[in-house]
Amino acid sequence: MNYNLFGANTGLKASQLILGAASFGTRSGYGATPGEAMKILTSYAEAGGNFIDTADRYQLGESEEIVGKFIEHQRSNFILSTKYTRSSDTNPGMCNYGNHRKAMRQAVESSLKRLRTDYIDLYMPHFDDGYTPLDEIARGLEDLVTSGKILYTGIANFPAWKISAIAGLSKLNAIQIEYNLVQRTADREFLPMAKQLGLATMMYSPLAGGLLTGKYRLGENGRLNQSAVGVKENETTTKLINLLTQIAGDLNVQAGQVALAWVLSKGAFPIIGARTLQHLNDALTIINLSVENITSLDEISAISLGYPHDLLSTVQG
Q: Identify each DSSP E strand in the chain by its residue range.
A: 3-5, 13-15, 18-20, 51-53, 79-84, 120-125, 150-156, 174-178, 200-204, 269-272
Q: Of 3, 30, 44, 58, which residue is the catalytic one? A: 58
Here the contacts of 152-155 (C-beta below 8 Å, separation 24 or greater) are: 152/6, 152/10, 152/12, 152/121, 152/122, 152/123, 153/122, 153/123, 153/124, 154/81, 154/122, 154/123, 154/124, 154/199, 154/200, 154/202, 155/124, 155/125
Neighbours of 75 (CB within 10 A): 15
Neighbours of 304 (CB within 10 A): 9
Active site residue 44: no
The radius of gyration of the chain's CA atoms, rounded to the nearest angstrom, is 19
Known catalytic residues are: 58
